[in-house]
Structure 1
Amino acid sequence: MDVCEVMVVAIEMEAESERFYQQAASTSSNPLAIRTFEALAEWEVEHRRLLEAVHAKAEATQSCPTLAELEAEELDMIEHAELIFKTALQDVDDTLAHDPTLSGAYATAMEKERKAIAFYQEQLEATEDPNEKQLYEFLLKQERGHLSLLATTEEYLNDTKYWFFKEEMWFATPG
Structure 2
Amino acid sequence: MVDPAYVRTMARYNAWQNRSLMAAADGLTDEARKLDRGAFFKSIHGTFNHILWGDETWLSRLTGSEKPAVSGRDSAIYFEGWAQFCARRRQRDQAILDWAESVEANWLRGTLIWYSGAAGREIGRPRAFVIAHFFNHQTHHRGQIHAMLTAAGAKPDDTDLFLVDEPR
For the superposition of Structure 1 and Structure 2, which TM-score range results when normalised by the shorter chain?
0.3 to 0.5
Greater Rg over alpha carbons, structure: 1
Higher helix share: 1
Higher relative contact order (CA 8 A, sep 6+): 2
Q: Normalized against structure 2, the TM-score is what?
A: 0.39
